[in-house]
Amino acid sequence: MAKEIILAIFALIFGGCLCFWGYRLFLVMLPIWSFFGGCWLGAKGVTILFGEGFLASATGLTTGLILGVILAIFSWQFYDLGVAVLGALLGAWLGSNVMKAIGFASANPLTLMVALGGAIALGILTYVRNWQQFIVMILTGIAGAYAIVAGFLLLNGRVTVDALQNSSNAMRSALGDSAIWLIVGVAIAIVGIVVQFRTYRNFVFEKDEFVRYWS
């Protein structure tokens, strides 16, 4: 029980920071996000190309780590392009999950093409149209709200740490059992996005400030 309480408190605190101050937090931590995004993209690419399980082989793990390090360094050196890379990673994630939702396997070449197309399209649009601010606000608002709801579900025993570790559907099942938690999550996400927009709509995170945080 102590494990659930500790994780719940962490989820509530981190989720609150991410939901309501996510734009600044996200950009300060850009190299870290880029590293994990690169790890996911590299391992996912190996899974699609060779039909292996996600991170099921040394090849997938090594590819993910190498790509993660490259993207982390890249995002630090080239801030604007680094944010566009995150937009590309989001596009790849959306593309692959849309194909999976309509019944295509992860290893299907068409899934890879759609994921690649999504990455190119959203990466270019993020850089050219300067969408990164809105994308980051929406993503962090939703992710933070999801973490907050997970914290409350852990506190009242609706989900357990083991269930979250062993099943990607644990939260989905808990939310499906009660529409109230889903409504609460959506409401928190909307409030978080609105708060971020009102707080940061005139805020420009300059590269010099970004480098100062990491120097």
Cβ neighbours, 10 Å, residue 85: 24
Domain that residue 120 falls in: 2-214
When divided into structural domains, the chain yields a total of: 1
Angle between helices 109-128 and 30-50 in degrees, nearest 10 = 160
- Give me the mean pLDDT over the 186-209 stretch: 82
Taking 90 as the threshold, does the pLDDT of residue 188 lie above it?
A: yes
d(CA 140, CA 62): 28
Average pLDDT in the 145-173 region? Answer: 71
Lowest mean pLDDT, pick from 21-35, 79-93, 156-170:
156-170
| pLDDT > 70: percent of the chain | 75
Residue 73: the pLDDT is 77
Residue 192 is predicted with a pLDDT of: 95
- Which stretches within 107-160 are classed as H helix? 109-128, 132-155
Percent of the chain whose pLDDT exceeds 90: 7
| Average pLDDT across the chain, whole number | 76
C-alpha neighbours within 13 Å on the C-beta side of residue 57: 15
pLDDT at 195 over 90: yes
What does the pLDDT read at residue 107? Answer: 65
Q: Is the pLDDT of residue 167 over 50?
A: no
How does pLDDT run across 69-78, given as a tens digit for each residue?
Answer: 887 777 766 6
